[in-house]
Chains A and B, each alone.
Chain A
Amino acid sequence: MSAVVLKGAATPDALAARSGGGFPAVDALLEGVASAPETFVLDPGAAGIDWSVENRVRGLPNRARIKCWSPKEGTLLVWFYKRSALPWSVDRFSYGGVLVGRERVPPAAIDAWLRYQVGGFHPEQRPPGIRRSFPFDLPA
């Protein structure tokens, strides 16, 4: 993996460990983040690896976030969501996510996920293969 790519992150290994470790999709996502022109920011207090992007969409700050989190051994959820615009609210607005195992994910898919985030989850940029519902609770 490349050097630390998320603003506010520790070492790359510590970063990968936050998602449970050993997921090639996480490595590929972080490499995609590193090579993107935008700045991505880690939330160190959130479960898994959870990051936002510092850009604006249609004149407003981009609220799109990605969380990489493992609901069970050998499974990774790449979850697309927004947090509430109100600082005291704990509401989250899901746009679905992708469940992957320890297999490699095609670079085009990784790029599509990141572009979807940078575009503020615009419906026309919605990547294929996103699941809308999950049979488990997602931690904050």
Chain B
Amino acid sequence: MVAPLNPCELEIDLFCRGVRIDRSCSLEEDARVFRRTRAGLGSGLELVLPGGLKDIWMNAPVEEDFAQASPYRLVKEGARYLLLDERNSLRYPVRIPPEPAWYERRTTLGTPMQDVGVLQGTYLGIYISNSCGYWWMRGEGREALNCAFCTTGYNVGVNERVDKAVEDVVEVAAAAKAEGCTFTHFNTGFHGGRDLEMVAPYVAAVKERVGQLVGVQALPARPADYWKYDWLLDLGANHFSFCWEFQHPDWFARLCPGKRATLGQDAFFRALEYCQRKMPKGACSGEIIAGVEPIEWTLRAIDYITDLGAFPTVCIFRPCIGSDMEHVPSPRSEDMIGVMRHMYEACRRKGIPIGAAPNIEVSLIVQPDDARYLAPRDLRFWAQEARSWVVRRLAAPVFARELRPRAPKADPLHPPRPRPAAA
């Protein structure tokens, strides 16, 4: 008899295999509208996998060709949803998070709120810019220098608004906060070194007028411009993430041609090191994709990130429709379980706080605290659980303060130093 998967094993298997939707489902009534925005990872079905340690939020692939051959079928029985594994007839109860009420509303300017930002798990993701410059750059015999796994340039103007007004963003963040959202995450593409200036007014406005935790994901500044990170911290940024995607320099160069040509891999490392030194442990993250480069390099990336005191954000490769890697197979679940177990162990060994921030569930990745399910239930595990409990209690007042609106300590429209010329 086959043992059922635990919630994290199931999450990983679903990321790798996708899910088919049975005719019994009524997701048009029960689920959030499907939105492929930003890099494309959020194009699937938002699911909650219940569990004893925690419920796991995930975005299961449904659109891609590999998902059409998945052994998992989502069925509805009465009012309940179940995942049926047709390999062994195991049944897993799941929840379908309902659509937030604000998705159907418009901002004062008349913009549909769901065109401004989307919930990816429980956090609000907002892509603030007019596409990514790599989608407009030609060179090296390529149509464009975009990252091979990404679909950002295809989404803006198609599934997303081209321009996002600060007023719209504030209203959407406020609407999301009213329904329990604590974290707004801004990301941008390549804008010739102006990325951090672009994001600054949004950060300041959300901090001052909404009161949320705010994250920024942008391409790294040059060392001479690291003052911009200090400026954004004064404006209230709580988190920076840096996506170099692949640790092996050859894989990075081949699959991220724009990042290689304009910045180089080292720029990501140095910027992460700078920011993490200035911020509490686990406040910054390094983002990588697992399942493309050899696994030992992914593990090496996790070790490097956690050695810095930063948080590893590990995406399982998804061959998104329309991406240059659409026809690359998705990775093997067994390999990804090993990666995520390593991620959890690295965080535990190096004291990276996991699961400390209130109500931040990221559906696009396997979070380190999801991976608790992969660890043996020994003394070290329970000691770590106790440490995490204490950290959550100690951090609660800090987060409560951050969730109150407050005036920024700097001017978001006038950086403290002259703006550099665009590259």
Contact-residue size bin, chain A (C-beta under 8 Å from the other chain): 20 to 34
- Quick check: A89 and B34 within 8 Å, CB to CB? yes
Q: B36 contacts the other chain (Cβ, under 8 Å)?
A: yes
- B63 contacts A88, CB within 8 Å? no
Q: Are B143 and A132 in contact, with the CB atoms below 8 A?
A: yes
Is A108 an interface position by the 8 A CB rule? no
B184 CB-CB contact with A under 8 Å: no
Contacting pair B157 A135 (CB below 8 A): yes
The answer to whether A86 and B154 touch (CB under 8 A), given A133-B135, A133-B136, A135-B162, is no
Describe A's contact surface by its main secondary structure: loop
Distance in angstroms between the alpha carbons of A64 and B162 in the assembled complex: 24
Decide if B62 is an interface residue (CB 8 Å cutoff): yes
Q: Are B154 and A133 in contact (CB under 8 A)?
A: yes
Within the complex, the shortest CB–CB distance from A29 to chain B, in Å, comes to 21
Chain-B contact segment, one of A42-50, A91-99, A109-117? A91-99
Is the pair A86, B27 in contact by a Cβ cutoff of 8 Å? yes
The reply to whether A91 and B161 contact each other, CB–CB distance below 8 Å, is no
Shortest A71–chain B CB gap in Å is: 10
Closest to A63 in B: B321
Q: Note all chain B residues with C-beta closer than 8 A to A85.
A: 62-63, 68
Query: Would you call B188 an interface residue if the criterion is a C-beta within 8 Å of the partner chain's C-beta atoms?
Result: no
Complex: A107 Cα to B225 Cα, angstroms: 51
Q: Do A133 and B156 contact each other (CB < 8 Å), given the known contacts A60-B65, A88-B27, A93-B36?
A: yes
The reply to whether B158 and A123 contact each other, CB–CB distance below 8 Å, is no
Provide the residues of chain A in CB contact with B68, threshold 8 Å: 60, 85
Chain B residues near A87 (CB-CB < 8 A): 28
A-B contact pairs, 11 of them (CB 8 A): A82-B322, A86-B34, A89-B34, A92-B159, A93-B322, A94-B322, A96-B154, A121-B322, A132-B146, A132-B154, A136-B162
Lowest 3 A-B CB distances belong to which pairs? A88-B28, A94-B154, A89-B34
Q: Which residues of B contact A (CB under 8 A)?
A: 21, 27-28, 33-36, 43, 62-63, 65, 68, 130-131, 135-136, 143-144, 146, 151, 153-159, 161-162, 321-322, 324, 326-327
